[in-house]
Structure 1
């Protein structure tokens, strides 16, 4: 099954010809010992990504206030020429306020050039932690705040592909400048031989629904990957070999198709673990070839 023709057609109508696709990684704010990354440690992570053959210079961070994420990461981003897809957690009013305050403080301290885009919430709809109307209002709220601060970057939301194709959540699509899609064939119990087709089917379904609700809205891949270790999930087997195969078949194709944030730079869980780099910062499989 191949969707490249349709994907290319949608890209042609939504992306300026002069704009390159973003190639990014999801990067967590903690170290293997659960301590928070310092600015020096953020710098090391960003430099390792930039040293890859793809010269990764975009990252997705999950939060703004937690672990002093932006306070510590933004100086590292500025010193390395890295741009950030900023995360703003929406759950719990006090936390949401702290997240907005941290983002505002980072903008006042460091300007706006480091901001690639802003995601208001992450998989809130999948977890059913909020309603579509509430989340949509939070997207409008954050967009209004950052526009007043001179930020013109796109503001959207990240969620699973299953949440995006659910018409009950269309109010969120309407509120978004971009839609961030998370999709994992591993969690769909797919054998690695079918994983590429399973992923691109979910991507196409998401594209189709988003375009039907709000034509011209770009769908970014904000999470996908394959675990290097962990439990077997249906026909899906976690292994370095399969993670390498998924990278070659899906990441290399996506890098030519749209904006991508691979999951993940490091992941210290072992059941399953999606981390591409081990605890010592060494890539666990070959990332060349695309």
Structure 2
């Protein structure tokens, strides 16, 4: 979310990434971002379509209405209602569940979930129960684990989300390792670690 983005900008960037991916994820359905799913489908990609939620109820309403419109038009393969709003404290559990249920009722047949740090789904089992799919952000780096154990730790994060979902599909929506910056306890950023982490997680996911 931010500046208005044009269909041309989206199409140009889509051409760069589409040889290497099968899915794209959008974070918002306003400011031009609502065009991303349609253009993604036109380029043969599947879409995880996000509604960006925060503490502003008016903006949230625009996002919810827009993501429903995109999905009803046939451009969403999965819908994500919010991203880390529990982690940031922007919405209460009840508020979030209400929005998830509203979207689910409007677009039957399309999986609806919520994106947050993997452990939030264990902390908030009612949110996990409301979701059709668990969309988990998993960053071993930010929990200070050394690179050598990062893949094993990522798998543990995934298992935590899987247990919280009680059999529901879990998708790792975000992960990665920085190539620059400060260390986080035993986790050290470097170009080599970033590339090796990418290869390791790509191989595991495949």
Per the normalisation by structure 1, the TM-score is 0.66
> Could you tell me how far 1:195 is from its partner in structure 2?
0.8
| DSSP-derived class of the 1:46 partner | helix
Cα deviations by residue, 1:130-178 (Å, 9 ceiling, x for unpaired): 222221111001111223xxxx210011110121121xx1111111100
| DSSP-derived class of the 1:230 partner | coil
Structure 1 residues 53-132: aligned runs within 5 Å: 56-65=21-30, 67-70=31-34, 72-91=35-54, 92-107=56-71, 111-112=73-74, 114-132=75-93
> Could you tell me how far 1:74 is from its partner in structure 2?
3.5
How many equivalent pairs are there?
205
Find the aligned partners of 2:38 and 2:8 in 1 and give their Cα distance: 9
Per the normalisation by structure 2, the TM-score is 0.90
1:146 has 2:111 as partner = no
Find the aligned partners of 1:209 and 1:137 in 2 and give their Cα distance: 19
8 Å CA contact 2:26, 2:37 repeated in 1: no
| Distance change (3 Å), C-alpha of 1:105 and 1:142 | closer
8 Å CA contact 1:181, 1:223 repeated in 2: yes
Find the aligned partners of 1:43 and 1:163 in 2 and give their Cα distance: 34
- Give unpaired runs (5+ residues) of structure 1: 1-28, 256-290
CA RMSD of aligned residues (A): 1.9
**Residue matched to 1:206:** 161
**Residue matched to 1:227:** 178
1:49 has 2:49 as partner = no
**Residue matched to 2:7:** 39
Structure 1 residues 168-247: aligned runs within 5 Å: 169-211=124-166, 216-247=167-198
